[in-house]
Amino acid sequence: MTLHLRDITEADLAAVLSLRNRAFGRLPAGVDGTWWERVAGETLGGRWLGVSDEGGELVGAGRIRPYEQAWGGRHLRMGGVAGVYVDPSARGQGVATTLTRGLITRMGELGDVVSCLFPTTVSLYRRSGYEVGGVQQRTTYAGHTLRALDDRQSSSSPARPRRARPDDAEAIHRLLRDDAERHVQSGPMPPSIEKLRAMIERDELITYMLADGVVIYDLATDVLTVEHLAAATPETAAALWGLVGSGSSAVPIVHTYLDPRDPLTLVLEGLPAEELRQVPWMARVIDLGAAFAGRGFSPLARAEVDLVIDDPEAQTNTGRWRLSVADGKGFATHADSDPVRSGPADADTHGLPRVGARGLSALWCGWSTSRLRQAGLLAGGSGDDDAALDAIFAAAPYLTEYF
C-alpha cells in the first residue's frame, strides 16, 4: 500500500470522526458535537495529520495536543499525541508507523521539545522511540479524613476559599506553575490560561482558590475527583483539602490525580483506601538540545558526561553530545563541534555510553542506568559515566491529566 501523509483540514472532519468510530467505537453517550469542535479548534492548522492510501481515502489520523509540562520544576513545550486512529482494513500495513513518525517530525517543526502519550499498543510507539516514563495514579481517600485536616487548624487559618471567576485564570495558572517549581516536579501539565478561563466559564470543573492556593475538582453523585491542588503553605493546603472533604456525608469517596508523593500523605491521619489505579504513559525526547537547556536540575548537582545517541526519527538528537549540569542549569552541545575537545582522538566513540531513541527517552524520565543496561537500552561507557547520567536525569515523573 502506498501511503501519503498530509494535514487534516476542516473538510476532513466528518471522515476523521467516521474513522474514529470504526477504530474505537462510537463516542460515549453524553459526548456531543461540542467536544469534536473543541478538538478541531485546538489541532487544525498544523497539529492534526492524516494518512491516505493510493486512492486518496483517509486510513489513519492522529493529533498533537499543545501542552506545557514541568521537568525539574521548569516548564517545557510538550506535544501530547492523542486520537491516533487507523482503519481496521489498513492495520498492519505501516499506517500507524507512518503517522507516528510524521507526528514526531511535525512536533520538531512546531517547537515541541518533548512528547508524551497514553499507548494503546506499546510496540508501535517503541518503534518510534517512545518509552514508558511513569504512571498516572488515581489514589482514593475517605472524604471525612480530609475534612478533619481543616478541623485541626487553629483560628489563625487563612480566609475561606472562594469560588474562582473567569478572570482568575491567569492567577490560577501561575499558582499551578509555582507549585511545580516549589516541589521540583516532573510531569504535571498546568492547563493553559485560555483553557482555565473556558473551563470556569462553562462550569466544567469546580474551582476554589485562596491567594496562595487553588483546588480544581469534578463532582459526581457520590464521588469527588481532585484534578489539581496547589498550596504554598500548610494552612492553605488544609483549608483546600477541608473544602474537598466538607461534603463527606453525601460524597464519601474522594479520588485524586496528583503526585504519588503529595504532602497529603504525610499529614493525613491514616492511609489512603486500598484501591489504587495506575495507567502507564510513554514519553519521547523530540529536541534534546532545547529540552535539556529548558529543564530544571538540582542546584547541588555537578556533572559532565559525553553521550552518543542514535535517533533516526529525530535526527537533531543523533550524534555525540556533551551534557553538563551546574548551578541548577543544563547545557547540551554536540561534542563534535567543540574546538577544545574535538580532534582525531575524539573520533572514536566506542568507549562512550550509547543509547537509541528509546534509551534516551527512558534516561530523560529518570530510569537508572543499571536498569537501562539490564533492558539492553544502554551500552558502553564506564561506572563514572553511569553515575553522571543518574545524577543528571534523576526524576520521578508522573502525569495528572489523561488525554
Percentage helix, strand, coil for the chain under 3-state DSSP, each rounded to 5: 35, 30, 35
pTM of the predicted protein model = 0.91
* Each residue's pLDDT tens digit, 76-88: 999 999 999 999 9
Same domain, 215 and 141: yes
In this predicted structure, what is the pLDDT of residue 152?
A: 57
Distance CA 13, CA 236 (A): 45
- Shared domain for 114 and 73, answered yes or no, is yes
For the stretch 38-75, pLDDT in tens is: 889 999 999 999 999 999 999 999 999 999 999 999 99
Among residues 129, 145, 174, the one where a domain terminates is: 129
Domain identity same for 332 and 354 = yes
Read off the DSSP letter of residue 58. E
Rounded to whole angstroms, the Cα distance separating 149 from 152 reads 5
Whether 66 and 156 share a structural domain: no
* Residue 263 falls inside a structural domain: yes
Same domain (yes/no): 125, 145 = no
Has residue 401 been placed in a domain?
no
On the question of pLDDT at 389 being above 60, the answer is yes
Residue bearing cell 489514589:
139
The grid coordinates listed for 331 are 547545557
Single-letter residue type at 285: V
Is residue 108 scored above 50 in pLDDT?
A: yes
Contact 80, 38 (CB under 8 A): no
Please write the tens of the pLDDT for every residue from 331-373.
999 886 544 343 433 445 669 999 999 999 999 999 999 999 9
Same domain, 275 and 323: no
Asked whether the predicted pLDDT for residue 113 surpasses 90, the reply is yes
**Residue 116's pLDDT is what?**
98
Q: Are residues 200 and 119 in the same domain?
A: no
How confident is the model at residue 159, as a pLDDT? 77
Do the domain assignments include residue 222?
yes
Last residue in a domain, options 129, 145, 177: 129
Total domain count for the chain? 3
With respect to residue 402, please indicate whether it lies within any of the assigned structural domains: no
pLDDT in tens, 298-338: 999 999 999 999 999 999 999 999 999 999 999 999 886 54
Q: Report the C-alpha gap between 14 and 9 in whole angstroms.
A: 10
Question: Quick one: which of 357, 346, 355, 356 has its CA closest to 386?
Answer: 355
Kindly state whether residues 209 and 152 are assigned to the same domain.
Answer: yes
Are the beta carbons of 140 and 272 closer than 8 angstroms? Answer: yes
In a domain, 376, yes or no: yes
pLDDT classification of 150: cutoffs 50, 70, 90: confident
DSSP-derived 3-state class of residue 260:
coil
- Residue 344: predicted pLDDT: 39
CATH number at residue 366: 3.30.1050.10
**Claim to verify: residue 49 and residue 79 sit in the same structural domain:** yes
Mean local confidence (pLDDT), 225-250: 94
Among 174-183, 262-271, 311-320, which stretch is predicted with the lowest mean pLDDT?
Answer: 262-271
Which of 243, 262, 279 corresponds to the end of one domain? Answer: 279
CA dist., res. 221 & res. 39, Å (int): 28
Q: What are phi and psi of 315, to 5 degrees?
A: -60, -25
Classify residue 101: in a domain, yes or no.
Answer: yes
Same-domain pairing of 341 and 325: yes
Tell me which residue range forms the domain holding 93.
4-129
Backbone angles phi, psi at 306, to 5 degrees: -95, 140
- 241 and 323 share a domain? no
Alpha carbons 329 and 285: distance in angstroms, whole number: 18
Specify the CATH number for the domain of residue 64.
3.40.630.30
Q: How confident is the model over 198-206, as a mean pLDDT?
A: 93
Rounded to whole angstroms, the Cα distance separating 181 from 258 reads 15
Question: What is residue 350's predicted lDDT score, i.e. its pLDDT?
Answer: 67
pLDDT tens-digit map of 35-47 = 888 889 999 999 9
Are 319 and 335 within one domain? yes
Q: What is the pLDDT of residue 346?
A: 46
- CB contact burial 12-25 (16+ within 10 A = b; e otherwise): bbeebbebbeebee
- Give the residue-averaged pLDDT of 371-392: 97
Q: Is residue 260 part of a domain?
A: yes
Helix (H, G, I), strand (E, B) or coil at 66: strand
Residue 338 lies in a domain: yes
- Write the DSSP assignment of 278-337 as a string of letters: EEEEEEEES-HHHHHHHS---TT--EEEEEEEE-TTSGGG-EEEEEEEETTEEEEEEGGG
Place of cell 494535514: 7
